[in-house]
A and B are shown apart, each in its own frame.
Chain A
């Protein structure tokens, strides 16, 4: 089967996945206790006003009816309106999405080169002091809580030294880079060690492989063997791990988004859950699901490019 039709098929699989997720997220959100309208209208709002607004939003209807209305709108591409802001959910999410995507890409741009360099350095000096110190640093990076690190970086580089802003997103591309630097570094610090350990192990395994010994015995130069054979063969598991991590990052950017007051998807998700903004939470869940599937698919496609033996 051609690659394109396989991709098409994979995209078709998305439909049941999204339906399933919409049902689960709808039920989870609706069945969890809590009243969005009271929080919206304020502590002193009258019971009458609260029930009026509840009725207006159809929140007093039976659950099944609410779900059918929701699905009906969804099929027409309408994600509903935010209960809190009275804005279309799609519009709201599209406003917040670019910031999180920017952050995730930024983290990738910092992490991937660092991972490749560190993993190669460690693998080629196996057991040496470079390897050992990379290992120690990796353990440190993985064990430091992101939240704590983010606060510390913000206090030191933001407040004490004044090199970077401690909040916001900025207006221009350069400002985005500047504003999101500390959030991106805070994230890369735990991501890079994970990837480095994975890649290093894979490289070491390949270096022992029979085909490498065979290549050496044929007198191929060491650098050529490494670039052309060892590295390409080692990179696949790490690529898959990276895929999982990117999908994870889209959802877990919330910690740094809160600490650095970046108005991204994570920040929107948290405040929508707290404010019981049902349709925003559901919309975001669908976006996360879509994101995860697309990232995995992209990684699979790249895998076939790196290694023709891999089939989609």
Chain B
């Protein structure tokens, strides 16, 4: 035993002396994130870690360029018919990672799979797609139920990535996506160690010449935020997601590290359960909203790094109503509203899960509500329970966050503000017929000015009626090392990995 431990100690010492760590000739971009990859099948999940992975593995028909504008992806060009109902896309000569050509058949197969597969997690972006046909090898004709302005943008969403029909049919769905899927994007899977890391390597056949600008990437799952900070500081990773707010200022001053705080489509808000008393009464919701000093909350929660939220939609989205004044902090008005309402003085339940700093947020809400006479008790449960109770309507208020996977507000509005789109306005049971109509009208409107007006109206109505209480728009707290250049996260949660160069 003694000899073994001396041997071990000697080995450790040898490592230290020789400068340890064997850097290979390959340069991988190493990223630490709390979010897990749980599947490699783009249709099967819409959870945060997976959508980051899908974006790297599967190319879409359109992509976002460096300015965030829609640009040709696998589709070289496209044409929209005069009635707005037919989109004809011409594919470029591109290949899957296994060298086989990407054809119109593959595109049709991939899109219909997302729309129709019974286990497709998020068919919403392709709901308006009526028909998809391969006209020839390189031409895809997509017919829509009705004219739909956000459609091209939705073709860029993570689950609209193109998969190989031949491979999925040959190996079967389970096997094809088990560990080494055929990919159409910049990367393919070298090694997947579930619950630990995903190692990507450059696809030899990616259509963008000269991309990716690195050999590959390692997406490492690190649950503890302190550990991510330590890994960043010790240079063990090149980028890290979700640095705690309290350490942002410290990291910004460190040499060799950068924290650009990129804008995100994330919004922190409080769900209010409008399916039961007291929040079924709009006056109680308004009272709850006027009672909260959103500016102070944003500052306290993010050390001044986030903008206070002024509408029910994320601040980075297109057509966000940035001039709207928001809900004023007015405790006197809140008290008056509460008095004339049906609120009977009973405790409401603030339901929170185990996301970062959420206890602090819940306590801030509780205190400000108590000040106007709205009594609340906080219940903390883990994520699994939270996601069981919210859809079941077993809560009164629930501070949390959500994001939108594309810049167009259509999907966001359908998810959070629409009573007839399948999930009852993010399970708040908010259902305003006028808003539901406006959401459809805005989606069918191609004129940007008119669309702007429609989305502004949606935001004004839902904010006044307090469908949710908007709190703040946090930027991403990602840290980057000077070892890499060109890496950032788009507002819709996609890494610009293919543009990333390892410079040291």
A residues adjacent to B (C-beta < 8 A): 33-36, 38-49, 52-53, 56, 82, 84-87, 92, 95-96, 106, 108-110, 112-113, 151, 154-155, 158-159, 162-168, 174-175, 177-178, 181, 258-261, 263, 267-268, 270-271, 274-276
Name the residue of chain A whose CB is nearest to the CB of B236.
A167
Q: Whose C-beta in chain B lies nearest to the C-beta of A168?
A: B236
**Do residues A40 and B12 form an inter-chain contact, with CB atoms below 8 A?**
no
- Residue numbers in A under 8 Å from B46 (CB-CB): 41-45
Query: Is the C-beta of B68 less than 8 angstroms from some C-beta in chain A?
Result: no
Task: Determine whether the beta carbon of A49 is less than 8 Å from that of B119.
Answer: yes
- A53 and B231: CB pair below 8 A? no
B383 touches A39 (CB 8 A): yes
13 pairs across A/B with beta carbons < 8 Å? Answer: A33-B388, A36-B384, A38-B387, A39-B384, A40-B38, A43-B47, A46-B123, A159-B230, A165-B236, A167-B222, A181-B12, A274-B384, A275-B384
Task: Determine whether B4 belongs to the interface, using a CB cutoff of 8 Å to chain A.
Answer: yes
In the complex, A167→B237 CA distance in Å? 10
Chain B nearest CB, measured from A177 CB (Å) = 5
Q: Which residues of B contact A158 (CB under 8 A)?
A: 230, 234
Nearest chain B CB to A60 CB, angstrom units? 14
Quick one: which of B110-128 are within 8 Å of A by CB?
118-124
Q: A256 to chain B: closest CB distance in Å?
A: 11
Cβ-defined partner of B193 (8 Å) among A33, A95, A151: A95
B16 at the interface (CB under 8 A from A): yes
By a CB distance below 8 angstroms, the chain B residues around A258 are 223-224, 227
Task: Indicate if B325 sits at the interface (CB-CB under 8 A).
Answer: no
B384 touches A276 (CB 8 A): yes
With an 8 Å Cβ cutoff, the count of chain B residues facing the other chain is 63
- Report the Cα distance A269→B196, complex, angstroms: 13
With contact pairs A41-B46, A46-B422, A274-B382 given, residues A261 and B220 touching in the complex (Cβ less than 8 Å):
yes
Residues of chain A contacted by B32 (CB below 8 angstroms): 167, 261
Partner of B38, one of A53, A85, A96, A159: A85
Docked pose: A34 CA to B381 CA in angstroms: 9
A2 to B174, CA, bound (A): 51
- Per-residue interface assignment for chain B, residues 418 to 435, with 1 indicating a CB less than 8 Å from any chain A CB and 0 otherwise: 000011000000000000
Whole-angstrom distance between the Cβ of B428 and the nearest chain A Cβ: 14
**Shortest beta-carbon distance, A31 to chain B, in Å?**
12
Within the complex, the shortest CB–CB distance from A118 to chain B, in Å, comes to: 13
> Which of chain A's residues have a CB closer than 8 A to the CB of B193?
95, 263
Q: Which chain B positions have C-beta within 8 A of A275?
A: 384
Task: Report the minimum CB–CB distance from B195 to chain A (whole Å).
Answer: 6
Question: Are B384 and A35 interface neighbours, CB within 8 A?
Answer: yes
Considering the complex, give the chain A residue whose CB is closest to the CB of B47: A42
Which B residue's beta carbon lies closest to that of A96?
B195
Kindly identify which residue among B47, B118, B196, B197 contacts A39, using a CB–CB cutoff of 8 Å.
B47
Query: Does B8 touch A at the CB level, under 8 Å?
Result: yes
B50 adjacent to A42 (CB under 8 Å): yes
Measured CA separation A164–B16 after assembly (Å): 8
Chain A nearest Cβ from B320, distance in angstroms: 20
Identify which of B20, B44, B174, B227 contacts A259 (C-beta below 8 A). B227
Told that A85-B194, A263-B193 touch, could you supply 20 new A-B pairs with CB distance under 8 A?
A33-B384, A33-B388, A34-B384, A40-B38, A41-B44, A42-B47, A44-B46, A44-B121, A47-B391, A49-B118, A49-B121, A84-B36, A87-B194, A92-B195, A112-B1, A166-B234, A175-B15, A178-B11, A259-B224, A274-B382
Residue of A nearest to B1 (CB): A112
Q: Which residue of B lies closest to A270 (CB)?
A: B223
A86 touches B178 (CB 8 A): yes
B95-108: CB near A (< 8 Å → 1, else 0) gives: 00000000000000
Is B2 an interface residue, CB under 8 A from the partner?
yes
B226 contacts the other chain (Cβ, under 8 Å)?
yes
Measured CA separation A261–B32 after assembly (Å): 10
The interface residues of chain B lying within 8 Å CB-to-CB of A86 are 39, 174, 178
For residue B423, which residues in chain A have a CB less than 8 angstroms away from its CB? 44, 46-47
Q: In the complex, which residue of chain B has the Cβ closest to the Cβ of A87? A: B194
| CB pair A45 B20 closer than 8 Å | no
B87 at interface, CB cutoff 8 A: no
User: Which residues of A have CB within 8 Å of B197?
Assistant: 263
Alpha-carbon gap, A263 to B194, bound state (A): 10
By the criterion CB–CB under 8 Å, are B383 and A177 in contact?
no
Interface mask (B204-238 → A, CB under 8 Å = 1, otherwise 0): 00000000000000001011101100110110100
CB distance from A231 to the nearest CB of B (A): 14
With A159-B234, A259-B227, A263-B196 as contacts: A44 and B4 at CB distance below 8 Å: no
Most chain A Cβ neighbours within 10 Å, of B4, B44, B230, B388 = B230
Docked complex Cα distance between A110 and B354 (Å): 36
Q: Does B415 contact A (CB under 8 A)?
A: yes
From A36, A44, A154, B230 is in contact (CB under 8 Å) with A154
Query: Which B residues touch A260, using CB under 8 A?
Result: 227
A173 nearest in chain B by CB position: B11
Q: Do B230 and A155 touch across chains, with their CB atoms under 8 A apart?
A: yes
Q: Which residues of A contact B4 (CB under 8 A)?
A: 109
Q: Is the CB of A52 within 8 A of B226?
A: no
Q: Is B21 an interface residue (CB 8 A)?
A: yes
Considering the complex, which residues of chain B in the window 7-54 have a beta carbon less than 8 Å from any beta carbon of chain A? 8, 11-12, 14-16, 20-22, 32, 36, 38-39, 44-48, 50-51
**CB < 8 Å neighbour of B1 from A38, A40, A48, A113:** A113
The 6 nearest A-B residue pairs measured at CB: A34-B384, A42-B46, A42-B47, A263-B196, A41-B121, A85-B194
- Nearest A residue to B196 by beta-carbon distance? A263
Give the residue of A39, A92, A159, A167 whose beta carbon is less than 8 angstroms from that of B387.
A39
